[in-house]
Amino acid sequence: MAAFIFFVIMFTLMASTTPRADAAETSAAAVVIRVDQSGKGDYKKIQDAIDAVPSNNKQPFFILVKPGIYNEKIIVPGDKPFITVSGSKTNSTVITRNDSGNIIESATFTVLASNFVGRYITIKNTFRRHGIQAVALRVSGDKVVFLGCKILGYQDTLLDENGRHYYRGCYIEGAVDFICGNAASLFEVCVTYVTRISVE
């Protein structure tokens, strides 16, 4: 428990920084990978940048995502800890999919690794039908942090599955069971918004 409290305090201090504390300020401590759909970065897709991180890495990797709408299904594997995925502005860096039917497999963004940080990104699952699971974000790694993010969906938006997690300054939206799971999580200065349930 004491270790988790220390972890939360550490990332609370991180959260007090602005989005401008990006790759330029983290490059001394981390390997920086830039994702840019225009082709001006190291990769055009976020998943390609994650795939480039070596398995069982011990060095932090900072993936800076330029503004854009990324229609991707993201998985951060369990053997790739110490990754940060960061946008510069939450509303302009959007990861989106339209998937449904299985609470595990439908997730737009899945974090299985420990020591992961997500910053200033929007994660969406645009599927909307009552009674059908459609996860936007699934978090199953330990010691995972999301700062200033938007997590948008309809049913089971945030599957806070397992591990210890910290959400600060996040906006989470859904209609049915939209925060669920067995994780030990702290939500600080977050907004939850219930959308209208539509029954066909």
Q: What is the pLDDT of residue 13?
A: 37
Whether residue 94 is contained in a domain is answered as yes
Which pTM value belongs to this model? 0.86
Whether residue 164 is contained in a domain is answered as yes
Give the mean pLDDT of 186-190: 97
Residue 76's pLDDT band (cuts 50, 70, 90):
very high
Whether residue 123 is contained in a domain is answered as yes
Whether residue 132 is contained in a domain is answered as yes
Residue 164: strand pairing partners:
184
DSSP collapsed to 3 states, 142-183: CCEEEECCEEECCECCEEECCCEEEEECCEEEECECCEECCC
Whether residue 199 is contained in a domain is answered as no
Residue 28 has pLDDT above 90, yes or no: no
- Based on the residue annotation, tell me whether 160 is a catalytic residue of this protein: no
Contact yes or no for 153/135 (Cβ under 8 A): yes
| Marked catalytic residue, from 36, 42, 99, 177 | 177
Give the pair of three-digit tokens for residue 40: 């001006």
Lowest mean pLDDT among 39-43, 57-61, 140-144, 194-198: 194-198
Whether residue 200 is contained in a domain is answered as no
184-193 long-range CB contacts below 8 Å, 24 or more apart?
Answer: 184/4, 185/160, 186/8, 188/12
Give the pair of three-digit tokens for residue 155: 């049913």
Which residues are CB-contacts of 53 (< 8 A; sequence separation ≥ 6)? 33, 61, 80, 83
Contact yes or no for 84/62 (Cβ under 8 A): yes
Residue 27: give the domain boundaries: 2-194
Tens digit of each residue's pLDDT (9 = 90 or more) over 152-184:
999 999 999 999 999 999 999 999 889 999 999
- Based on the residue annotation, tell me whether 177 is a catalytic residue of this protein: yes
3 state SS of 33: strand
Total number of domains constituting the chain: 1
CATH number at residue 154: 2.160.20.10
